[in-house]
Structure 1
Amino acid sequence: MRRAGVPTWLQVVFSSVVMGVYHGVLGAHDSVQYAISSAVLFGLVSVIFVVGRRSLPPGLVAHMMRPGRSAPCCRPIRPRPHQSG
Protein backbone atom coordinates (compact mmCIF):
# COMPACT_ATOMS: atom_id res chain seq x y z
CA MET A 1 0.00 0.00 0.00
CA ARG A 2 2.92 2.32 0.65
CA ARG A 3 4.19 1.77 -2.89
CA ALA A 4 0.78 2.74 -4.21
CA GLY A 5 0.99 6.06 -2.39
CA VAL A 6 -1.69 5.32 0.22
CA PRO A 7 -1.30 7.62 3.26
CA THR A 8 0.16 5.98 6.36
CA TRP A 9 -2.88 6.68 8.53
CA LEU A 10 -5.12 4.94 5.99
CA GLN A 11 -2.78 1.94 5.92
CA VAL A 12 -3.07 1.67 9.71
CA VAL A 13 -6.87 1.96 9.70
CA PHE A 14 -7.30 -0.48 6.80
CA SER A 15 -4.99 -3.14 8.25
CA SER A 16 -6.54 -2.90 11.73
CA VAL A 17 -10.08 -3.25 10.36
CA VAL A 18 -9.15 -6.20 8.15
CA MET A 19 -7.35 -7.99 10.98
CA GLY A 20 -10.19 -7.22 13.40
CA VAL A 21 -12.77 -8.69 11.03
CA TYR A 22 -10.60 -11.72 10.37
CA HIS A 23 -9.94 -12.48 14.03
CA GLY A 24 -13.38 -11.55 15.34
CA VAL A 25 -15.83 -12.67 12.70
CA LEU A 26 -14.05 -15.17 10.48
CA GLY A 27 -11.81 -16.56 13.23
CA ALA A 28 -12.69 -18.81 16.12
CA HIS A 29 -14.74 -16.28 18.11
CA ASP A 30 -17.54 -15.11 15.78
CA SER A 31 -18.13 -12.01 17.88
CA VAL A 32 -18.52 -8.36 16.90
CA GLN A 33 -17.14 -7.29 20.28
CA TYR A 34 -14.03 -9.43 19.73
CA ALA A 35 -13.68 -7.99 16.21
CA ILE A 36 -13.73 -4.43 17.54
CA SER A 37 -11.23 -5.15 20.31
CA SER A 38 -8.99 -7.00 17.83
CA ALA A 39 -9.15 -4.03 15.45
CA VAL A 40 -8.07 -1.67 18.24
CA LEU A 41 -5.20 -3.93 19.28
CA PHE A 42 -4.04 -4.49 15.72
CA GLY A 43 -4.26 -0.73 15.17
CA LEU A 44 -1.78 -0.32 18.02
CA VAL A 45 0.45 -3.03 16.54
CA SER A 46 0.25 -1.22 13.18
CA VAL A 47 1.33 2.03 14.81
CA ILE A 48 4.25 0.18 16.45
CA PHE A 49 5.13 -1.15 12.99
CA VAL A 50 5.16 2.33 11.46
CA VAL A 51 7.02 3.96 14.36
CA GLY A 52 9.53 1.09 14.36
CA ARG A 53 10.52 1.96 10.77
CA ARG A 54 8.36 -0.84 9.38
CA SER A 55 10.20 -3.57 11.24
CA LEU A 56 8.26 -6.80 11.83
CA PRO A 57 9.80 -8.13 15.09
CA PRO A 58 8.07 -5.62 17.45
CA GLY A 59 4.66 -6.50 16.03
CA LEU A 60 5.39 -10.22 16.10
CA VAL A 61 6.46 -10.02 19.74
CA ALA A 62 3.32 -8.04 20.61
CA HIS A 63 1.16 -10.63 18.85
CA MET A 64 2.82 -13.51 20.70
CA MET A 65 2.48 -11.84 24.12
CA ARG A 66 -1.29 -11.68 24.26
CA PRO A 67 -2.73 -13.56 27.26
CA GLY A 68 -4.45 -16.88 26.78
CA ARG A 69 -2.45 -18.13 23.83
CA SER A 70 1.21 -17.79 24.75
CA ALA A 71 2.25 -19.66 27.88
CA PRO A 72 0.13 -21.69 30.29
CA CYS A 73 1.05 -19.30 33.11
CA CYS A 74 -0.50 -16.39 31.19
CA ARG A 75 -3.87 -17.98 30.45
CA PRO A 76 -6.83 -16.28 32.12
CA ILE A 77 -8.64 -18.26 34.79
CA ARG A 78 -12.13 -19.03 33.65
CA PRO A 79 -14.85 -19.97 36.13
CA ARG A 80 -16.18 -23.48 35.87
CA PRO A 81 -19.69 -23.82 34.49
CA HIS A 82 -22.34 -24.31 37.15
CA GLN A 83 -23.46 -27.91 37.35
CA SER A 84 -26.87 -28.70 38.71
CA GLY A 85 -27.54 -31.91 40.47
Structure 2
Amino acid sequence: GPLHEGAPSHAPYDVIFIQGGIELVTDKISSQLKDGGRMVAIFMEGALGRVKIGYKLNNEISWRFGFNAAAPVLDCFRKELTFTL
Protein backbone atom coordinates (compact mmCIF):
# COMPACT_ATOMS: atom_id res chain seq x y z
CA GLY A 1 0.00 0.00 0.00
CA PRO A 2 0.97 3.66 0.04
CA LEU A 3 3.97 4.52 2.21
CA HIS A 4 2.15 7.24 4.17
CA GLU A 5 -0.42 4.68 5.36
CA GLY A 6 2.18 2.39 6.94
CA ALA A 7 1.25 -1.24 7.52
CA PRO A 8 -1.81 -1.20 9.80
CA SER A 9 -2.41 -4.95 9.50
CA HIS A 10 0.80 -5.56 11.51
CA ALA A 11 0.34 -2.75 14.07
CA PRO A 12 0.90 -1.81 16.83
CA TYR A 13 4.66 -1.33 16.59
CA ASP A 14 7.26 -0.88 19.34
CA VAL A 15 9.44 1.23 17.03
CA ILE A 16 8.80 3.08 13.76
CA PHE A 17 11.87 4.31 11.88
CA ILE A 18 11.14 6.51 8.87
CA GLN A 19 14.00 6.19 6.40
CA GLY A 20 13.94 9.52 4.62
CA GLY A 21 13.21 13.16 5.30
CA ILE A 22 9.73 14.20 6.39
CA GLU A 23 7.91 17.46 7.00
CA LEU A 24 5.07 15.87 8.98
CA VAL A 25 3.97 12.58 10.50
CA THR A 26 0.54 11.43 9.36
CA ASP A 27 -2.09 10.35 11.88
CA LYS A 28 -2.23 6.98 10.11
CA ILE A 29 1.44 6.38 10.94
CA SER A 30 1.38 7.71 14.52
CA SER A 31 -1.73 5.63 15.33
CA GLN A 32 0.24 2.46 14.49
CA LEU A 33 2.80 3.13 17.24
CA LYS A 34 1.90 1.39 20.49
CA ASP A 35 1.72 3.31 23.74
CA GLY A 36 5.25 3.29 25.18
CA GLY A 37 6.72 2.97 21.66
CA ARG A 38 9.30 5.14 19.92
CA MET A 39 9.50 6.76 16.50
CA VAL A 40 12.61 8.13 14.78
CA ALA A 41 12.47 10.54 11.84
CA ILE A 42 14.45 13.28 10.09
CA PHE A 43 12.30 16.41 10.10
CA MET A 44 13.40 18.61 7.21
CA GLU A 45 13.03 22.39 7.20
CA GLY A 46 14.54 23.55 3.91
CA ALA A 47 18.08 22.17 3.69
CA LEU A 48 18.36 21.70 7.47
CA GLY A 49 17.18 18.47 9.01
CA ARG A 50 16.80 17.45 12.63
CA VAL A 51 16.64 13.86 13.75
CA LYS A 52 13.96 13.62 16.41
CA ILE A 53 12.98 10.74 18.63
CA GLY A 54 9.32 10.56 19.56
CA TYR A 55 8.00 8.76 22.63
CA LYS A 56 4.33 7.84 22.69
CA LEU A 57 2.67 8.03 26.10
CA ASN A 58 -1.08 8.29 26.69
CA ASN A 59 -1.65 8.43 22.91
CA GLU A 60 0.52 11.57 22.56
CA ILE A 61 3.96 11.66 20.93
CA SER A 62 6.50 13.97 22.54
CA TRP A 63 9.53 14.71 20.37
CA ARG A 64 13.14 15.19 21.48
CA PHE A 65 15.99 16.52 19.37
CA GLY A 66 18.72 13.97 18.58
CA PHE A 67 21.13 15.56 16.10
CA ASN A 68 21.28 17.42 12.78
CA ALA A 69 21.10 15.46 9.54
CA ALA A 70 19.77 15.82 6.01
CA ALA A 71 17.82 13.54 3.68
CA PRO A 72 15.56 13.98 0.66
CA VAL A 73 11.95 14.54 1.73
CA LEU A 74 9.66 11.63 0.94
CA ASP A 75 6.83 12.99 -1.23
CA CYS A 76 4.05 11.48 0.87
CA PHE A 77 5.40 13.18 4.02
CA ARG A 78 5.45 16.74 2.62
CA LYS A 79 3.26 19.48 4.06
CA GLU A 80 0.66 20.78 1.67
CA LEU A 81 1.55 24.27 0.52
CA THR A 82 -1.18 26.76 1.30
CA PHE A 83 -1.56 30.44 0.65
CA THR A 84 -2.49 32.71 3.53
CA LEU A 85 -2.57 36.47 4.00
- Band of TM-score, shorter chain: under 0.3
Instruction: Give the strand-richer structure, 1 or 2.
Output: 2
With the length of structure 1 as denominator, give the TM-score of the two structures.
0.28
